[in-house]
Amino acid sequence: MTDHDVTDGNGILPCFDPLPPARPVPDYAGKTRLHERLLASVSCAASELDESWRIIGSDGRRICPPRDGDGKILCGFGVALLMAELRVTMGGEEPLLAVQEGTGKIWRRVVGNKGRMYWRPIAGVDSEYGIPASEHMGDLDTFTRYCLQTVPKATLILGVRYAHIGIARRYDGLLSQTDLVLDTSPDFGRCWALDLPDVEWDPFRAGRYEREAAKILDGDAAVKMLARIIAAPVAQPYPHGFAVLAGQGGDGKGRTIDAIAAMYGELANPFSLAALLGVARSSSTTNDQATSGLLTGLLAYDSDAVNPGQGLIENLKKASAGESLSMRLLQQNVVSSPVTAFMLLATNHTITLPSTPEWKRRIWQVPFRRGNTDEAIRDWSRYLGDGSDPDDGIYDALIAGTMSFAFLEPDLVTANNLIDGLSEGGRMILDAVMQSGPQDADGMPIDPRVPVNSEDIASVGRRERSEQYAVMGLQTKNSRNIYGDKKPCQVITIRDRNKFTPFARLWQEENRECLEEEAAERSKADGLAAQIRRRLYDVTPPPADVPGIPGQVGLLKSVEGFDATLLIAPADAWHGKGLAVKWQDPASRVRQPLATADPAMIPGVYGLLPDRHVIILDIDAAKHGGIDGIDTLAAIPGLTVGDLVTMVMRSPHGLHLVYRMPADWIGRVKAATHVHGAQIDLRTGERSYVVGPGSRIVVDGSVVEYPGVVALPPIVRDEDGDGGCRRLPMLPPALARWIMQDKSVFDAPTSSAAADGRRPYHVPVPADDGHVPIPPMMPGATHDVLRDTALRIAGRAAHRGYDRQWLDGEMDRLRAAVPAGHDPRDTDACIASAVDKAYSGR
């Protein structure tokens, strides 16, 4: 009998075929004679004139309850319907009941809302057929299973059957796995949980899904995770986890759940997470029935879920692992049955479940992109469809998910991107964590350790702390307070970095806004000159490894790109700042390379002679009431405080700013005094020197000290975030333009390479410097990988000063790695944008 034999557009078609003859049931402990009698004596109406029937079965038969010799009905309508469906199944017709392969779970084939027949799991025979406890019918579940054991084809496979292939969860003892079932296998003709005969399992549809989902989800991992969630009810190797669609309101979560539920049809049940956790403001009866949707379907969804980190989280833990839960319906006994449904939740709120291993492996999170437009959400909804068309996008997602499970791809790591659960006390904790210890290149704290008794968070209560730790992925543990007294104590650290990242980004954004506001106020109040003075004078010098000149020389050596020669001569050869020996000759004994010089041999004063590609700006104090060098710097058009982030050395009467020299300046810049008549002198490559930091000279009988290095360039991380070093920056364009305007500085005319704002390429590429790694790019997921790789290539060239030939060669390698179908205009745009950002300092 086919589906179309049973139903039409108006309901179930009547069937007056007699029930198949009863077959013997195997004996088992606890079997009752009453059950066999009822199975043998149930009947159905033979014609429309027969009015002895009491209930219609899912196959259209009019079921007549068994009667005794006096005509008394022996059982209720529910028991009669069960016995009739067992007779149909055992008699060789299309099964109406089946046992799930490997688990013994009973499934029933019923008519759905759209008139089609489908399989669904049942929590128990009594609850499914409405058999009240007052009938005292005994253990009907066991009787049903023994009946079905006699029917080989009444075995159901948990999985999805496409047109020519099936994806099944197979059991082998205590183990289970996801298998491919070909249409040539005998199992392909069995009963399947989800049957999609009109849908072809086409792997290319997975690529279409990934392209569309990337427009609305936050990251590639979220795209793959959503596909696995959609396929989990029928393809997950074993019951594990629950899904959370997270995002702000109106970002497409509800539309996504609607499409998933429509595809699964009667196998999807709405449920209340609040009732499952026992926190719903309703009667206890509602909470007792909360598990119904979890025990009678493959998908249970709550489109507006409460925070799962509250109430009876033990129920949530059991449900996420497929363990048994209890259900009590009115007038029926308590039913305990394994959970069959995969839970799908949508929430606009942060989850407060702790970041412990038991929960991290259970929660599958899909962060939706912030700021999705209404048009994007409508396009996403139209793409997904409702499953009525085999070409609907929801089937693309199902195919992508079943492929992921069938090919044994590992679970992904995703995190919630919501930050609304942060309380006032949580912000205090976040602020303390973000400012504890050094940060990496992305601004994330590397190893924060905040003592729990810190005064900064003393006002945060114990309960609020516990909640906020869970919200942000933090933990407390006994460890050394490495940023304080070095003693062991209870400290706050990061447990789940993925969970903490959105909050760190929030702090960075807010901190950046505060710093910008502070900088704007300071600029308005004091002017750029005051800012420069604070930047260059009101600083704490970097700590040296050893005191005195050896420590200062060590700081000089720590800056990559600063190459110089030390002028080391006896003390009596120095007359103030002047050196009474010939130092210009490269063979002079007083010249020692900085890289190999022994600081211990320096008597107390030495000279610092920059190499050809280094330029030193000597900023002097004002004389006779004139304008000092700082005021001159502040008046240079386009100069910012950020341009002065370089190596800075203090002198008794000013500052020395050190930069790399533009490529076309090398060998042609004079050792100029008073550039543009200002208190700024130039000490250029191998043409002039400055007194080295840490030196002590005698002028007119008085000892004058050179304080030393007061600032160093920041540490620049490598592309992969590991390692890093301090690199001497290029002379800023604003300073280069200002110097070039003084024609007396140069021996010959210069090009405009440094003046037009571009950073010249001049440093040769070391022989041991390999290519930038280029990750594989898949069709439909190319743009982000292309953009990030281009930024890494351009960033390395800019920070290390590599020549244009190296940069062009690496970009050509990147172009060759882009999939053939990708838009070449996007490739060129990504590369051009990366070069612009790297060389403009953005």
CA 81 from centre of chain: 51
DSSP, res 407: T
Tell me what pLDDT residue 286 has: 64
Tell me what pLDDT residue 720 has: 60
Q: Is 19 left (phi over 0), alpha (psi -120 to 50) or beta?
A: beta
Most confident of 32-41, 461-470, 539-548: 32-41
**pLDDT, averaged across the chain:** 83
What residue type is 649 in one-letter code? M
Tell me what pLDDT residue 704 has: 86
- For 152-169, the three-class secondary structure string (H helix, E strand, C coil) is CCCEEEEEEECCCEEEEE
Tell me what pLDDT residue 398 has: 96
Per-residue pLDDT, averaged over 252-273, amounts to 90
- What is the b/e burial string over 670-685, where b = at least 16 CB atoms within 10 angstroms of the residue's CB? ebbeebeebbbbbbbb
Half-sphere exposure of 331 (CA within 13 A, CB side): 6
pLDDT at 608 over 80: yes
pLDDT at 1 over 50: no
Q: Is 347 helix (H, G, I), strand (E, B) or coil?
A: strand
* 755 vs 647: CA distance, rounded Å: 22
* 692 vs 557: CA distance, rounded Å: 13
pLDDT classification of 283: cutoffs 50, 70, 90: low
* 444 vs 717: CA distance, rounded Å: 13
How many beta carbons lie within 10 A of that of residue 453, not counting itself? Answer: 10
Closest CA to 730 of 785, 812, 813, 657: 657
**Beta carbons within 8 Å of 584's beta carbon, 6+ residues apart:** none
Tell me what pLDDT residue 10 has: 60
Long-range contacts of 772-778 (CB under 8 A, 24+ apart): 772/719, 772/796, 772/810, 774/813, 774/814, 774/817, 776/817, 777/817, 777/818, 777/819, 777/822, 778/207, 778/210, 778/819
What residue type is 493 in one-letter code? T
pLDDT at 762 over 50: no
**Beta carbons within 8 Å of 456's beta carbon, 6+ residues apart:** 428, 431, 432, 450
Tell me what pLDDT residue 98 has: 94
**Beta carbons within 8 Å of 651's beta carbon, 6+ residues apart:** 618, 690, 691, 706, 707
With pLDDT > 90 as the criterion, what percentage of the chain qualifies?
23
Residue recorded with tokens 């002079």 = 588
How many beta carbons lie within 10 A of that of residue 558, not counting itself? Answer: 18
Higher pLDDT, 133 or 827: 827
pLDDT at 355 over 80: no
Tell me what pLDDT residue 709 has: 92
pLDDT classification of 756: cutoffs 50, 70, 90: very low
Question: Cα–Cα distances in Å, from 300 out to 121, 127, 230, 295?
Answer: 13, 18, 12, 9
Task: Look at strands 654-660 and 191-195 and give their pairing.
Answer: unpaired
Number of helices and strands in the chain (H, E)? 24, 38
Lowest-confidence range among 51-65, 211-225, 241-255?
Answer: 241-255
Lowest-confidence range among 29-38, 257-266, 608-617, 779-788?
Answer: 779-788
**Beta carbons within 8 Å of 591's beta carbon, 6+ residues apart:** 565, 566, 567, 583, 585, 609
The strand pairing partners of 159, in sequence order, are 168
Per-residue pLDDT, averaged over 50-61, amounts to 86
**Beta carbons within 8 Å of 488's beta carbon, 6+ residues apart:** 478, 479, 480, 481
What residue type is 251 in one-letter code? D
Half-sphere exposure of 83 (CA within 13 A, CB side): 29
* 322 vs 307: CA distance, rounded Å: 21
- What is the b/e burial string over 31-59, where b = at least 16 CB atoms within 10 angstroms of the residue's CB? beebbbbbbbbbbbbeeeeeeebebbbbb
Tell me what pLDDT residue 184 has: 93
Helix axes 253-264, 393-406, angle to 10 degrees: 80
Q: Is 83 helix (H, G, I), strand (E, B) or coil?
A: helix
Tell me what pLDDT residue 323 has: 83
DSSP, res 67: B
Locate the domains of the chain by residue range.
Answer: 3-153, 204-406, 431-500, 548-745, 783-840
Lowest-confidence range among 114-118, 256-260, 472-476, 584-588?
Answer: 114-118
pLDDT at 754 over 60: no
Architecture of domain 204-406: 3-Layer(aba) Sandwich (3.40)
CA angle 359, 360, 362 (to 5 degrees): 60
Per-residue pLDDT, averaged over 519-537, amounts to 73
How many beta carbons lie within 10 A of that of residue 304, not counting itself? Answer: 15
Most confident of 402-411, 522-531, 621-630: 402-411
How many beta carbons lie within 10 A of that of residue 242, not counting itself? Answer: 23
pLDDT classification of 677: cutoffs 50, 70, 90: confident
Closest CA to 363 of 275, 473, 272, 252: 473
* 85 vs 119: CA distance, rounded Å: 14
Per-residue pLDDT, averaged over 396-421, amounts to 81
* 838 vs 788: CA distance, rounded Å: 12
Per-residue pLDDT, averaged over 380-393, amounts to 92
pLDDT digits over 679-728, tens only? 888 888 777 888 999 988 887 778 888 888 999 998 877 666 566 788 89
With pLDDT > 70 as the criterion, what percentage of the chain qualifies?
90
* 661 vs 685: CA distance, rounded Å: 9
* 300 vs 233: CA distance, rounded Å: 10
DSSP, res 149: T
Query: How many residues comprise the chain?
Result: 842
DSSP, res 674: S
Task: Look at strands 680-684 and 191-195 and give their pairing.
Answer: unpaired
* 705 vs 702: CA distance, rounded Å: 10
pLDDT at 220 over 50: yes
Q: Is 591 helix (H, G, I), strand (E, B) or coil?
A: strand
Task: Look at strands 97-100 and 106-111 and give their pairing.
Answer: antiparallel
pLDDT at 625 over 70: no
Residue recorded with tokens 């199992």 = 187
How many beta carbons lie within 10 A of that of residue 379, not counting itself? Answer: 15
Closest CA to 695 of 656, 669, 723, 724: 656
- Residue 39 · residue 81 · CB < 8 Å: no
Lowest-confidence range among 69-78, 130-139, 409-418, 639-648?
Answer: 409-418
> What is the pTM (predicted TM-score) of this model?
0.57
Tell me what pLDDT residue 722 has: 60
Closest CA to 106 of 119, 122, 94, 117: 122
Q: Is 596 left (phi over 0), alpha (psi -120 to 50) or beta?
A: alpha
Rounding to the nearest 10 degrees, give the CA dihedral for residues 483, 487, 488, 494. Answer: 0
pLDDT at 230 over 90: yes
The strand pairing partners of 614, in sequence order, are 660
